[in-house]
C-alpha cells in the first residue's frame, strides 16, 4: 500500500521552533505540526494548548486555515468553559463544523477499537483525549502505520494501545473523527 502522507522537518528557521514538522499529503495538503511548549508569547497555549493544537490540525485537515492564536481566540469567544480550565472535544467538533462547509467532524463519546481503525484506514483524522494526565492527541494512518502526533512530535502507535489510554472524564473525554473534504 502506498503512503498517504510524509512527515517532513520544517526548513524555515523562523517557523521551525513552533512548527518543527509538517505533514505533507499526497493530494498536496500540508498540515504544520504545532509544538505547544514553544509558544512563548501565550502562556495559555504553553500550559493548555494540546486541545488547541488538535483543533488547529483538525481545521487544516478539513481544509480551513486559522492560526494557533486564532483557534484559541475562536474557542474562547464562542464556547464557554464554565468552571473548567480548557475546552473539550465536543466544542472542538462543533467549531470545526461551524468553520467549514459541510459537517466533516463527528464526536464519539466512547469509540470502539474497530470504529477507530475503520475511520483511520478510510483516511480520516482522529482527535482524542487520553488520561493520566489529561492530554489531547491526533492519530493518522499513513498507509502502513498509525501515527500519533502531539507536542510537536510523532511516533508509531497501535490503536489498541491508544484505546487503553483513552480518557473517561465526562467533560474532557471522547473522540472526534474529522473527514477529509474533497
Task: Tell me the CA distances in angstroms from 95 to 72, 129, 154, 172, 182, one per residue in order.
Answer: 11, 17, 25, 16, 19
Comparing C-alpha atoms, which of 38, 145, 122, 134 is closest to residue 86? 134
Question: At 167, phi and psi to the nearest 5?
Answer: -85, 135
What would the grid cell of residue 141 be?
A: 494512518
Band of pLDDT at residue 156, cut at 50, 70 and 90: very high
Q: Which residue has the cell 502506498?
A: 2
Rg (CA), the chain: 15
Band of pLDDT at residue 49, cut at 50, 70 and 90: confident
Band of pLDDT at residue 86, cut at 50, 70 and 90: confident
Q: What is the pTM of this model?
A: 0.92
Stretch 93-120: mean pLDDT, rounded?
A: 93
Please tell me the predicted confidence (pLDDT) of residue 150. 92
Q: Which residues on adjacent β-strands are paired with residue 139?
A: 126, 148
On the CB side of 76, how many CA atoms lie within 13 Å of its CA? 12
Contacts 24+ apart (CB under 8 A), 62-68: 62/96, 62/100, 62/104, 62/105, 62/178, 62/179, 62/180, 62/181, 63/29, 63/100, 63/181, 64/96, 64/99, 64/100, 66/99, 68/18, 68/34, 68/39
Amino acid at each position: 500500500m502506498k503512503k498517504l502522507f510524509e512527515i517532513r522537518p520544517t526548513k524555515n528557521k523562523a517557523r521551525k521552533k513552533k512548527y518543527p514538522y509538517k505533514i505533507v499529503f499526497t493530494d498536496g495538503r500540508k498540515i504544520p505540526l504545532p509544538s505547544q511548549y514553544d509558544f512563548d508569547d501565550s502562556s495559555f497555549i504553553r500550559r493548555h494548548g494540546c486541545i488547541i493544537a488538535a483543533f488547529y490540525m483538525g481545521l487544516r485537515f478539513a481544509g480551513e486555515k486559522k492560526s494557533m492564536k486564532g483557534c484559541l481566540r475562536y474557542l474562547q469567544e464562542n464556547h464557554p468553559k464554565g468552571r473548567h480550565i480548557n475546552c473539550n472535544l465536543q466544542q472542538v467538533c462543533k467549531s470545526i463544523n461551524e468553520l467549514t462547509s459541510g459537517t466533516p467532524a463527528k464526536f464519539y463519546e466512547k469509540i470502539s477499537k474497530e470504529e477507530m481503525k475503520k475511520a483511520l484506514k478510510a483516511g480520516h483524522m482522529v482527535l482524542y483525549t487520553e488520561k493520566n494526565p489529561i492530554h489531547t492527541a491526533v492519530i493518522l494512518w499513513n498507509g502502513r502505520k498509525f501515527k500519533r502526533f502531539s507536542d510537536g512530535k510523532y511516533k508509531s502507535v497501535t490503536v489498541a494501545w491508544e484505546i487503553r489510554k483513552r480518557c473517561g472524564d465526562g467533560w474532557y473525554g471522547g473522540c472526534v473523527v474529522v473527514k477529509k473534504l474533497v
